[in-house]
Amino acid sequence: AENIRKMILALSKDLRVVLIKLADRLHNLKTLSAIPVQKQKRIALETSEIYAPLAYRLGMSNLAGELEDLAFPFLHPQEHKWLVKNIKERYEERQIYLGKVKEIVEKNLKENGIAPLKIDLRAKRYASLYKKLLRYDMNLEQIYDLVALRIIVKTVEECYAVMGIIHQLWPPLPGRIKDYIALPKPNGYRSIHTTVFCLDKKPTEFQIRTLEM
């Protein structure tokens, strides 16, 4: 798969060719159920191993996630049915929920004199969730980041101030506060992670960092 990724990039002297290939693959996946089963699995596997990672490497994470999610039910039909059955809210509903949380956070940060540079929303997709569940023996109770917000601020001091404001709004889950600013990961990753009982007491993860981080 790695060699094919390199080949696609090498052959495509004009990057727009790659973008067209990715768009074409997205369209193909949306009509995948109309073709023979054997061909479905081949296209789904090719998408998961080649096209989605390629999109991710080009910085197109939303497209990469959508490609993986469209391929997932053809690669793991039983696991997909299990996830849909056991996760009450669909991806789109989790996105709407995050939008409501973002409004509350922005209002409270403004009241405390903090203007975030950016707030990103991320609802975990089925394919990504399945990969994580494999590491936790398929135990959904161990997954705390079905929904998450990433808050980018100007300074380290603001990172800690934002965490304090979030904890005033919603109580944190015990043992789910991780300070990778004071103690960075071995690869240099720095950020504050905290999971709180947010709206409707739903566990929601916040990642807080500076633009440099």
The pLDDT assigned to 88 comes to: 65
pLDDT tens digits, residue range 133-176?
A: 777 666 666 555 567 899 999 999 999 999 999 999 999 988 88
User: What is the DSSP code (8-state) at residue 171?
Assistant: P
Distance of alpha carbon 171 from alpha carbon 98, whole angstroms: 17
The pLDDT assigned to 142 comes to: 59
64-81: average pLDDT: 88
Look at residue 56 and tell me whether its pLDDT is greater than 90: no
Look at residue 126 and tell me whether its pLDDT is greater than 80: no
Helices and strands of the chain, counted as H and E runs: 9, 5
pLDDT tier at 102, thresholds 50, 70, 90: very high
51-67: average pLDDT: 88
pLDDT tier at 201, thresholds 50, 70, 90: confident
User: What is the DSSP code (8-state) at residue 211?
Assistant: S
Strand 203-210 versus strand 192-197 pairing type: antiparallel
The pLDDT assigned to 159 comes to: 96
CA distances from 65 to 61, 129, 190 (A): 6, 11, 24
Spatial contact of 83 and 69, defined as CB atoms under 8 Å apart: no
Nearby residues of 152 by Cβ (< 8 Å), 6 or more positions away: 116, 117, 118, 119, 120, 209, 210, 211
Taking the CA atoms of residue 115, residue 162, residue 145 and residue 199 in that order, the dihedral angle to the nearest 10 degrees is -90
Mean residue pLDDT across the chain: 85
The pLDDT assigned to 119 comes to: 92
The pLDDT assigned to 158 comes to: 95
The pLDDT assigned to 164 comes to: 95
Q: What is the pTM of this model?
A: 0.64
Spatial contact of 125 and 69, defined as CB atoms under 8 Å apart: yes
The pLDDT assigned to 144 comes to: 58
pLDDT tens digits, residue range 15-38?
A: 787 888 899 999 999 988 888 888
Distance of alpha carbon 69 from alpha carbon 44, whole angstroms: 10
Q: Which of 20-34, 47-61, 85-99 has the lowest mean pLDDT?
A: 85-99
Look at residue 10 and tell me whether its pLDDT is greater than 70: no
